[in-house]
């Protein structure tokens, strides 16, 4: 398990990274990639959408272009402070501080679930994906963006030491273990040589 797959360490990491997050993030995960992923996210205007690991609100901003009922959750008070500065603490977005692995919401609370760039910090990703399935209505979409596993052995060693990087086989295993039956994966990359993102688009089954 990587050094940042620990909730307290990830919080400490984001206490400092939050200051520069919006400057650094576009080198890895930019607006073009986010907007393409949004085209794979099957939501209608008025749908209630949960953004888990919303951070400073980068994806939240994109989600608001599709629906005005967006809820954001993050475990870092420092990241959330940046999001409040953009959207207000009690404004258009319904923000919560909490843990992806224990969502403070009732079953079937949301029409769809989005999480970009957060799964790599979750110590128990299958538990968090099961939570995604629980809080999202049957037939709803769960979309999760994470870091694709590097090809070179050197980068694999480095990646494994830091956080969760995973390939399509591992994504298949995690989503199946969390109770999903229908899902597909897509790969994105900002530019050749930059880190790839793996996005899984899953449908919440009728039988929970
Ligand atoms: C790379 S940022 C992604 C921010 C945003 N979703 C985006 O697309 O730019 C990862 C975020 O996940 C949050 N996070 C990490 N582990 C978490 C957990 N267990 N529960 C909730 N949020 C978590 C971090 O605090 C951080 O804000």
**Mean pLDDT across the chain:** 96
pLDDT digits (tens, 9 = 90+) for 34-65: 999 999 998 999 999 999 999 999 999 999 99
* Rounded distance from Cα 183 to ligand 1 centre (Å): 22
Whose C-alpha lies nearest to ligand 1, atom 9? 58
For residue 59, which atom of ligand 1 is closest to its CA?
A: 8
Angle at 33 between CA 140 and CA 146, to 5 degrees: 65
Q: What's the gap in Å between 57 CA and the centre of ligand 1? A: 10
Q: Are 107 and 99 in contact (CB under 8 A)?
A: no
Q: Tens of pLDDT along 83-98?
A: 999 999 998 999 999 9
In this predicted structure, what is the pLDDT of residue 207?
A: 82
Pocket test for ligand 1, best of 10, 18, 93 (most atoms within 8 A of CB): 10
Listed residue (64, 78, 59) closest to 20, CA to CA: 78
Burial of 13 by CB count in 10 Å (0-12 exposed, 13-18 middle, 19+ buried)? middle
Query: Rounded to the nearest 5 degrees, what angle is found at the Cα of 74, between the Cα atoms of 83 and 172?
Result: 125
pTM of the model: 0.97
Residues within 6 Å of ligand 1 by CB? 7, 10, 14, 25, 29, 53-55, 58-59, 74-76, 79, 99-101, 116-118, 121-122
What kind of fold does domain 3-203 have according to CATH? Answer: Rossmann fold (3.40.50)
């Amino acid at each position: 398990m990587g050094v940042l797959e620990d909730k307290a360490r990830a919080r400490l990491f984001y206490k400092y990274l939050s200051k520069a997050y919006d400057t650094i993030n576009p080198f890895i995960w930019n607006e073009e990639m986010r907007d393409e992923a949004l085209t794979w996210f099957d939501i209608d205007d008025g749908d209630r959408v949960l953004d888990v690991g919303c951070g400073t609100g980068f994806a939240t901003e994109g989600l608001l272009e599709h629906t005005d009922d967006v809820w954001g959750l993050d475990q870092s008070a420092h990241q959330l402070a940046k999001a409040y500065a953009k959207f207000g603490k009690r404004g258009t977005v319904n923000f919560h501080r909490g843990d992806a692995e224990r969502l403070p919401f009732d079953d079937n609370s949301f029409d769809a679930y989005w999480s970009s760039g957060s799964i790599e910090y979750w110590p128990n990703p299958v538990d968090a994906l099961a939570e995604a399935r629980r809080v999202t209505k049957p037939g709803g979409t769960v979309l999760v963006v994470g870091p694709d596993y590097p090809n070179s052995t050197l980068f694999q060693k480095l990646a494994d030491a830091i956080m969760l990087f995973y390939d399509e086989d591992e994504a298949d295993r995690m989503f199946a273990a969390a109770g999903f039956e229908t899902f597909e994966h897509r790969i994105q990359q900002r530019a050749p040589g930059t880190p790839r993102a793996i996005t899984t688009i899953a449908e919440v089954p009728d039988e929970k």
